[in-house]
């Protein structure tokens, strides 16, 4: 078994073992509502990115085939939410093609779609898109939190560009920080300073069930494909696509909203939130002054063209969000 196939099997095992993975912590929703939603609304005019997906796909479908490709669709929860949004807006001229590498995830998606009564709007395909070419182009392509698992990004982006209709859209939500979701030195330094003064209760890792002190800048790409080429995503996107809207966010705050350490912060605790708000506010200030670069992007891209009046969050263009090596 070669290295690529070994990682594929590890990734499939992670997907199959969904029950072993803790859910997102409550503080993630707190951060989303207080720190992320206002930014999304400022850039996209919507409070939820599901609405951005729906609006973008409807506009593209009205000019094209209405076919929407989801690469790495997982359990299908995002696609189902988008389909429901599109239908609620009175538009039914679309059909999702949900693709996955892991059959167990696609089976969950099929079940969810059937339960929601949306089977007429979905097709499913188990395929490695690196070795596949569709028969027709698509009005929309999405890869929700999928790009940071992909090794051959150049091939993937060429595939998307080639199979996107001329007026098609490519909405993006993904992680674009350092490979393996590690912290760059300029982000690691303030994180380590914070770690040194944080009370011990906030340093407990709920995934590994142990106290972590000092902070470990862990490389998540050591097994599977997690963050395998995350830092290359944005530069390659800028080379191949144009952005009509773009928001870069995240940073060292990621550590405190994810499954490992996020469960240590209770939104009902004023003390916990005092610590958390200090971290999140410091993170955003450093982002806006350019001291650190974003680790997450929310964007709507199109085939390469001149875009007039692109909506960008407070001057941080896609090019400005790239962390230079």
pLDDT > 70: what percent of the chain? Answer: 94
Query: Omega before 109 cis (within 30°)?
Result: no
What pTM did the predictor assign? 0.93
CB atoms within 10 A of CB 319: 11
User: b vs e for 228-267, b when ≥16 Cβ sit within 10 Å of the residue's Cβ?
Assistant: bbbbbbbbbbbebbbbbbbbbbbbbbbbbbbebbbbbbeb
DSSP string, 77-129: HHHHHHHHHHHHTT----EEEEEES-HHHHHHHHHHHHHTT-GGGEEEEE--G
Instruction: Look at residue 19 in the predicted model and tell me its pLDDT.
Output: 46
Does residue 225 carry a pLDDT above 70? yes
Q: What percent of the chain has pLDDT over 90?
A: 90
Residue 15 clears pLDDT 70, i.e. is over it: no
Predicted confidence band of residue 4 (pLDDT cuts 50, 70, 90):
low
20: tokens are 């072993």
Q: What pLDDT is recorded for position 237?
A: 99
In order of 211, 235, 282, the CA distances from 277 in angstroms are 22, 31, 8
* Predicted local distance difference test score (pLDDT) of residue 223: 83
Tokens found for residue 128 = 């490695």
The secondary structure of residue 191, as a DSSP letter, is: H
72 near 143, Cβ under 8 Å?
yes
Distance CA 309, CA 24 (A): 36
Taking residues 174-178, report their average pLDDT: 99
Given a contact cutoff of 8 angstroms between Cβ atoms, the answer to whether 21 and 54 are in contact is no
For 84-88, the CB contacts below 8 A with 24+ separation are 84/116, 84/118, 85/50, 85/51, 85/53, 85/54, 86/54, 86/57, 86/58, 87/121
């Amino acid at each position: 078994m070669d290295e690529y196939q070994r990682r594929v099997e590890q990734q499939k095992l992670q997907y199959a073992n969904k029950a072993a993975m803790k859910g997102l912590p409550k503080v993630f929703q707190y951060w989303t509502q207080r720190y992320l939603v206002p930014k999304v609304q400022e850039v996209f005019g919507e409070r939820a990115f599901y609405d951005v997906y729906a609006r973008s796909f409807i506009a593209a479908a009205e000019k094209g085939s209405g076919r929407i490709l989801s690469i790495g669709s997982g359990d299908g929860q995002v696609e189902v939410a988008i389909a429901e949004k599109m239908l609620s807006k009175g538009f039914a001229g679309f059909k999702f093609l949900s693709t996955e590498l892991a059959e167990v995830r696609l089976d969950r998606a099929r079940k969810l779609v059937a339960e929601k009564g949306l089977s007429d709007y979905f097709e499913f395909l188990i395929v490695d898109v690196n070795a596949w070419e569709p028969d027709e182009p698509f009005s929309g392509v999405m890869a929700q939190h999928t790009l940071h698992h992909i090794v051959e990004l150049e091939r993937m982006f060429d595939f998307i560009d080639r199979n996107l209709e001329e007026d098609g859209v490519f909405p993006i939500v993904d992680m674009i920080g350092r490979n393996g979701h590690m912290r760059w030195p300029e982000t690691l330094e303030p994180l380590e300073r914070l770690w040194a003064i944080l009370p011990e209760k906030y340093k407990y890792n709920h995934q590994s069930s142990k106290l972590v002190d000092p902070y470990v800048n862990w490389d998540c790409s050591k097994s599977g494909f997690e963050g395998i080429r995350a830092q290359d995503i944005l530069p390659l996107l800028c080379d191949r696509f144009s952005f009509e809207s773009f928001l870069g966010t995240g940073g060292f705050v990621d550590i405190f909203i994810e499954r490992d350490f996020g469960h240590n912060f209770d939104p009902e605790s004023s003390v916990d939130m005092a610590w958390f708000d200090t971290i999140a506010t410091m993170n955003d200030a450093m982002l806006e002054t350019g001291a650190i670069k974003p680790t997450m992007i929310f964007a709507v891209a199109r085939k390469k063209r001149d875009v007039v009046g692109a909506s960008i969050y407070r001057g941080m263009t896609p090019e400005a969000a790239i962390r230079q090596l």
